[in-house]
């Protein structure tokens, strides 16, 4: 079963998570100021196998650099 979780959505920032079978997940968007919310949703960063960003506006990609230390492909 695939779970679709909306971490945040709106003009302040967007972040969505697709979790696949509770072992792997793909993040969709990482809006500015949402890094902590995303990590609360997916506390085990090793489960994150990728980050998909639709475009480079801050409300969709502002926190992408914070994921660089985890070496998550963007």
pLDDT digits (tens, 9 = 90+) for 34-68: 999 999 989 999 999 999 999 999 999 999 999 98
- pTM for the full model? 0.87
Mean pLDDT (whole number) for 12-23: 85
Percent of the chain residues topping a pLDDT of 90? 62
Tell me: pLDDT of 10 over 90: no
Give the C-alpha separation, 58 to 3, whole Å.
25
Give residue 71's pLDDT: 92
Could you give the CA distance from residue 62 to residue 16 in angstroms, rounded to a whole number? Answer: 14
pLDDT exceeds cutoff 90 at 30: yes
């Amino acid at each position: 079963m695939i779970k679709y979780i909306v971490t945040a959505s709106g003009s302040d920032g967007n972040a969505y998570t697709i979790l696949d079978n509770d072992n792997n997940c793909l993040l969709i968007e990482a809006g500015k100021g949402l890094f902590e919310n995303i990590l609360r949703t997916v506390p085990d960063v090793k489960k994150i196998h990728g980050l998909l960003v639709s475009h480079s506006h801050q409300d969709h990609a502002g926190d992408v650099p914070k994921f660089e230390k985890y070496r998550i492909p963007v």
